[in-house]
Structure 1
Amino acid sequence: MTQVVVIGGGVVGISCALSLQADGQEVTVVEPGPVGEGASWASCGCIAVGEIVPLSQPGMLMKVPGWLLHPKAPLSLRPTSLPGLLPWFARFTANARPSKMRAIAADLARLTFAATGDFKAQLVDIGAPELLVERPVLKLFDDERDRATMGAAFDLARDLGCTIDEITGQEAHEIAPAIAPDFKYAAILRDWSFVTDPKRLVEALHQTFTKRGGTVVQAAATGFDRETRRVRAVRLSDGRSLPADEVILAAGTHSRALAKALDVPIQLEGVAGYSTALSDPGVDLTHTVFYPKGGFGMTPYEDSLAVAGTIEFAGLNAPPNWNRADILVKKALRVLPNLQTTKRERRMGRRPFTPDTRPIIGRSKHVQNVTFATGHGQLGLTLGATTARLVADDLARRPLHLDVQPFSPDRFSN
């Protein structure tokens, strides 16, 4: 029996662990934090099928300088993080060319179009199909100029197979009466869906994994014992070493440092996202609603309304800037005028972003028995089950259902 160590117990890591366990592997998950309180915990909980246009789209790049100077903007950067970000931003900017954008979007489309089927199969396997709400999401726009910022992205997404219907703001209000009636335009993203609670999802995946004999170790991976181009053991923060025939690197924002220890120079930055769970919102919302101008979305979880979003570049050890979460809640009143915000719980999660928006999936030529499953950015929840399927099929030497070369960890060396 193959001994597999999965580094990272977030939604991607635990999904990989379950798929490998189903193949008869002996699997240990290494996770230092509380189960279910990673990046997915501070998100809108969406299965974002068709969220395929890279962040480096020209319209966004033009706004970045102004955003960085505005404390309430959707994107912020702490000055201390700037020097280390420059190589990442240089490659990020290079991906704004139309040919690059289309290639990235096409690659992401192949991944996300498999997501709903893979995710539903995973939920059936763990006996929790009720965690998925198959209901489209709405995006709201104040006026024609606001809508135009998404026009090229919508056109590219439709061209690659996404279903997006543009409607009036009044029609959006009729679909979800809690929404303010004065938005000029809206869009229905029909391929999307959302979960009832991301934390409960990750907890359910962990519970199934341990019930089936899997082991979760509460520690951080700090390095590796190597022999030429193979990892023999994973070193832990508590002083132990876990023997490993195969290693899955799904450590989110910590993956870059671990990859460096393997001589694999990936480009990945941890981007902080904030969420506030409103336990008594005072409104009835049945759809996830995004307000792109405000940089946030809102999802009706089973016990709260989540207001989540923003992009903040800060060091991995930087404390949360809770003002970012509070700003989103204030902006949410533009969308839901009757929203009650008194009972709230603030959350922060760091999302691992690559400069080309593609996740990192597959093996590197530098090390034989390590498979990367990281860098999913805002698509970790969406692609957890799909990534797990690819990883398990690769280790079992089964044919892969799509080409993973565009997601190779070695692409950053080119």
Structure 2
Amino acid sequence: MKRVVIAGGGVAGISCALALQADGHSVTVLEPGPVGEGASWASCGCIAVGEIVPLSQPGMLMKVPGWLLDPEAPLSLRPASALRLLPWFTRFTANSLPSRMRAIAADLARLTFAATADFKAQLTDIGAPELLVERPVIKLFDDERDKATMGAAFDLARELGCTIDDISGQEAHEMEPALASDFKYASVLRDWSFVADPKRLVEQLMRAFVQRGGTVVPLACAGFERDGARVNAVRASDGRLLAADEVVIAAGAHSKGLARQLGIPLQLEGVMGYSTGLQDAGVDLKHTVFYPAGGFGITPYENELAVAGTLEFASLSAAPKWRRADVLVKRAYRVLPGLQDSRRSRRMGRRPFTPDTRPIIGRTGRLANVSFATGHGQLGLTLGATTGRLIADVIAERPRETWSSVFGPDRFQGT
């Protein structure tokens, strides 16, 4: 049995904790925020099996310059962060080459195609299988030009094994009568599903961890104590030291700063995403629906309708611009004409993005006992259970597929 300290108790961190606990380790999780109110809470809550084509796809990049000048665009950059983010965007743009896009998509497929089975096993283990809603999602397009922006991404996803059915907008309306009837095209992503409530999901994962003897410290990770090439203790924000045989950094957007303290460079940026939960929304929706032109999705959670989306690059200390959440709700009327929004609650989460869209999973070669479980971007909820399984394999030194160089933290050395 090893003493494992995990920095971060979001969906990735707590999934690692449960998997390591199942292997018989003594696990402590450092989590300073309210349980379940991280990046996954401000999302569409999807198990996005087919979200494998990198964001740097050419159709997306062509829109970026105009978007960056529009504070209400699906992607925006706060001017104060522009110079600091230039190296990240340079590497991000380089990944738009067809050969790199294909390699990234194939790598992500290896993870996401295992996600549903891993997630189901995790939910069964904690006694909450009802949290997974196994229905496909729908993407809506206004016209031929709108649909064409997703054409190359859909073709590559299909080639790699995703099931995507193209239908008419009228057929989408028949599937979901609450949808506007004038969309010309739609696509049904058959591999996807969504959760009933992402906050309740993380809460129940955390509850199971604690009931099985796990320890949660409601503080942030502030640093480390080292003995040569090993970390022997983790320092909490109140100064206390937690002895550790193994350390897992799963602190989302804050992982970059923690890695820097250990001399490990991560190409990672925290990107703000927004969500609004609408209670008494006035519409009956059964599927998650995405409107790519508007930069958002709508998910029917068990107690509310969530309108979520946008990417906003800003510093970790930047305050939310709630106008971005409000804009998404206004745009949602294009999709759901009968929507009501008088009762609402707004959320923001910082999603940790890498310039190659791959998550950071695995052990660093620079330190003998430090592993990473971060950088999932928009796939944190999707890959939480899978990441936990992989990290448990790393620490147990179980034989595994040769994925460590592709997703490992040391791929950023020399950058």
Secondary structure at the residue paired with 1:388? helix
Map residues 280-319 of structure 1 onto 2, 5 A cutoff: 280-319=280-319
Aligned to 1:371: 371
Map residues 250-269 of structure 1 onto 2, 5 A cutoff: 250-269=250-269
Q: Distance in 2 between matches of 1:411 and 1:57?
A: 21
Secondary structure at the residue paired with 1:121? helix
Aligned to 1:101: 101
- The alignment yields a C-alpha RMSD, in angstroms, of 0.7
Aligned to 1:351: 351
**1:187 and 2:187 are equivalent in the alignment:** yes
Aligned to 2:320: 320
Q: Distance in 2 between matches of 1:170 and 1:70?
A: 32
CA contact (8 A) 1:390 1:401 kept: no
Aligned to 2:152: 152
Q: Distance in 1 between matches of 2:48 and 2:138?
A: 12
Map residues 377-396 of structure 1 onto 2, 5 A cutoff: 377-396=377-396
Secondary structure at the residue paired with 2:183? coil
Map residues 87-166 of structure 1 onto 2, 5 A cutoff: 87-166=87-166
Aligned to 1:3: 3
Q: CA deviation at 1:404?
A: 2.8
Q: CA deviation at 1:394?
A: 1.4
Q: Distance in 2 between matches of 1:20 and 1:390?
A: 10
**TM value normalised by structure 2:** 0.99
Q: Match for 1:300: what amino acid?
A: P
Q: Distance in 2 between matches of 1:394 and 1:256?
A: 21
Q: Distance in 1 between matches of 2:109 and 2:413?
A: 24
CA contact (8 A) 1:279 1:303 kept: yes
Q: Distance in 2 between matches of 1:367 and 1:399?
A: 20
Aligned to 1:29: 29
Secondary structure at the residue paired with 1:277? strand
Q: Match for 2:162: what amino acid?
A: C
Q: CA deviation at 1:401?
A: 4.9
Q: Match for 1:151: what amino acid?
A: G
CA contact (8 A) 1:110 1:402 kept: no
Q: Match for 2:18: what amino acid?
A: L
Aligned to 2:46: 46
Secondary structure at the residue paired with 1:393? helix
Tell me the number of residue pairs that the alignment of Structure 1 and Structure 2 aligns.
414
CA contact (8 A) 2:267 2:355 kept: yes
Q: Distance in 2 between matches of 1:357 and 1:39?
A: 16
Aligned to 1:176: 176
**Paired-residue identity, %:** 75
Unpaired runs of at least 5, structure 2: none
Q: Deviations over 1:256-288 (max 9, x none)?
A: 000011111011000000000001100000000
Secondary structure at the residue paired with 2:194? strand
Q: Distance in 2 between matches of 1:70 and 1:17?
A: 41
CA contact (8 A) 2:42 2:275 kept: yes
Map residues 240-259 of structure 1 onto 2, 5 A cutoff: 240-259=240-259
Q: Deviations over 1:186-229 (max 9, x none)?
A: 00000000000000000000000000000000111111100111
CA contact (8 A) 2:363 2:394 kept: no
Q: Match for 2:119: what amino acid?
A: F
Secondary structure at the residue paired with 1:219? coil
Greater displacement, 67-76 / 400-409: 400-409
Greater displacement, 395-404 / 300-309: 395-404
Q: Match for 2:53: what amino acid?
A: V
Aligned to 2:79: 79
Q: Distance in 1 between matches of 2:172 and 2:365?
A: 50
